[in-house]
Structures are given as structure tokens and as C-alpha cells.
A = this chain, B = another copy of it.
Amino acid sequence: MTTSERSEAKREKIGFVGLGTMGQFMASNLVNSGFAVTVWNRTSERTAPLAELGATRAASPAEVARASDIVVACLTDSPQVEEVLFGPNGLAEGFSSGSLFVDCSTLSPLKAREFAERLAPLGVTTLDAPVSGASEGAKNATLSIMVGGADGDVERAQSVLNAMGRTVTHLGDVGAGQWAKAINQVILAGTYLGVAEGVALGLKAGLDVERVLGALRGGAAGSWVLESRSGRMIEDDYPLGFKISLHRKDLGIGLELAQSVGAVLPVTALAATFEDGIIAQGFGDDDNSALARPIRKLSGL
């Protein structure tokens, strides 16, 4: 894409629905990158900071769609996406032929394809573009974005995606991004549990665990989790980040996909049942690193 094409792309009007932990930062980065952005959120007060930055507030998803060429969504789960797309005053009511829907929510690839197929008759094309990197990745526009969809649509959305993330990878047709995200969450489960077990061992031994983990960072045990989340596990305090209840939802998708293709995921299965307990005990809004809770608890910490 040449510079002139990119500036043309910027001239496309952008809509953004879903201003949660991640979405608020992603939408801000779009505004700050010079895009004209129209925003909507279920609880409207969350639109205020965006409006201050220069975004336009809309009263409904339909209104967002009418005001935009490309609409980005960052929602919790597939029922919510379905509601925002096809419910009353949903995006589908406002889309016109040629609209592009970029869904940064994490869904099953099957749901992503289903929604794309329901939009197609309206002349609307879809990219699934789930992200990884937690709130700090969203804030600093360093997210990894995993994209599924048609080449032309990916090209068209490139400058939008670049404004929100550092690594944008086109992985195949619609749904391919969601497959990658499911794999991301599976890998994350094992990495979290590995670090949690190391933390528990060090704490029980009475070591200065922060210092110990500092010594390991550059070695084979190094990871984003070790670097960015082990401190929370040591403190037993789990500010967001990324909600563990959402990770549990994503592991549910991963385990369903695994069942459908016959992949056997013992550690993911353990993580999922551990997270069920965490959530039921009222910690679902904790950061994903709260996956250390059951390991700590089993260890009497």
C-alpha cells in the first residue's frame, strides 16, 4: 500500500462499538491516528472520554453503521455480537452495501463465519480480527491482531488495524483469526499455570520470588506472562489486564474446537475447570493472572 493509498484509507469513516477494557484504548488510538470515529457503547457514559478526544457519539449501533464505512466491534461474546449486529437498532439496520465489519471480539470461528454469511446478502463484508496483548497492548497500540477475511478487505482495513496493533497477520478466510486466537488462549493457559506453579514453589520456600524470576527472564522460561504478570501472582492481587471470565469463555471455544478436530488438551482442560472455581468464587473480573489463585490455594498460600 502506497502512502497516498493509506491516506485515502484514512479518509474512510470509522465506527466503533464496545468500549470495554480493551475497546476504549483501541478506539482512542483510532481517533489519535486521525480517523473520524463514531462510537457507541451499551452503557453510554463510557463514550464520554472518546467524545472529549474528538469522537462522535451515536445513540445506537444502527446509527454508528449509518455514519461509517468501516465498523470495528470489540464485544464480550457471540450473543453480544449477535445482539449488536442483528438485534433492534443493530448494525445490520444501518449498514449499506460496501460496509466493512471488522470484529475484534473473540468468538468461535463457526460463529464468525455464521455472522459473515448473514451479513453478505446486505453487501457487507467481514473481517474477524481478534487481538492479544491485554489492556497495555491496547493502550500502547502494540496488540497482535489475527485477521481472517478476503485479501481486499484486509488491505482496506490495514491502516485501521495498524493504528490499533503492532503485528497484523492475515491468516486466511473469515474465521482464521478466531482459530489463531483460540490457539493463543490455549498457549496462554499453560504458560500462566507454569508461571503460577513456579511462583508457588518460590513463595513456599520463602525465597525473594521477584528477584528469582528476574534471574530467569532472559532464559528458556522467559515469557510475556513471566515478564508482565508474575508480579501480580506474587502479590496475589490481580488488577486488569484481561478478565479471567473472558479467558474462560475463550477456553470454552478452544476446548470445543479441540473436541471437533480431536486435539487433546490436558492442561487447557485443567485451566478451564480451575477458572470455573475462580469465577464462581466471585473473582471473574480479576485479571487472567488470577489463574494463580487455585495453585496458591492448593499450596496453602
B-contacting residues of A (Cβ < 8 Å)?
131-134, 137, 142-146, 166-167, 169, 171-172, 176, 179-180, 182-198, 200-205, 207-208, 211-226, 228, 242, 254-255, 257-259, 261-270, 272-274, 276-277, 279-281, 288, 294-295, 297-300
Contact = CB atoms under 8 A, between A and B. Distances in A.
Contacts of A258: 201, 204, 273, 276
A220 B225 contact: yes
A187 B221 contact: yes
Contacts of A187: 194-195, 197-198, 216, 221, 223, 226
B277 A298 contact: yes
Given A187-B198, A201-B186, A281-B300, A146 B220 contact: no
A279 B134 CA distance: 35
A146 B190 contact: no
Given A133-B220, A179-B207, A220-B224, A263 B212 contact: no
B277 A299 contact: yes
A212 B171 contact: yes
A217 B267 contact: no
Given A198-B187, A201-B183, A273 B266 contact: yes
A138 to B, nearest CB: 11
Contacts of A182: 201
A167 to B, nearest CB: 4
Most chain B CB within a 10 A radius of its CB, from A208, A222, A255:
A222
Q: This chain: how many copies in the complex?
A: 4
Given A183-B216, A190-B195, 6 more contacts: A187-B194, A190-B193, A200-B263, A266-B298, A267-B270, A274-B298
Contacts of A225: 220, 223
A276 to B, nearest CB: 5
Contacts of A219: 131-133, 137, 143-144, 167, 184, 224
A284 to B, nearest CB: 10
A143 B215 CA distance: 10
A212 B297 contact: no
Contacts of A191: 190-191, 194-195, 221, 223
Most chain B CB within a 10 A radius of its CB, from A132, A198, A224, A280:
A198
Contacts of A216: 132, 144, 146, 180, 183-184, 187
